Amino acid sequence: MAIVIRHVIVTGRVQGVGYRAWTGDQAIMLGLHGWVRNRRDGSVEAVFAGPAELVAELIEACHRGPPPARVDKVVASDASADMLALRDARETFSQLATL
């Protein structure tokens, strides 16, 4: 099973609607590692690490998000272990402060 690390930016109505918490819950349920945070431009940024199939499943779910969200665009790209290291080392998946 291939392990991947992906960087994701989600735009639309994704702040103030529970999108960040929803993303963290979904990642934890799938057993993924990483982090999520709001960005000052109104988007949400995340890094997901784990089995390729499960990371792809979460990225696909990010196109929908929680019910109050309106997702306009999801851009996913390969990420490095350096990006993953931004999470709190005591946590599997972290919600970081706004960038």
Residue positions annotated with a catalytic role:
20, 38
**Cα–Cα distance between 58 and 53 in angstroms, integer?**
9
**Cα–Cα distance between 1 and 92 in angstroms, integer?**
19
CB of 76 within 8 A of CB of 6?
yes
In angstroms, the first-to-last Cα distance of the chain is 33
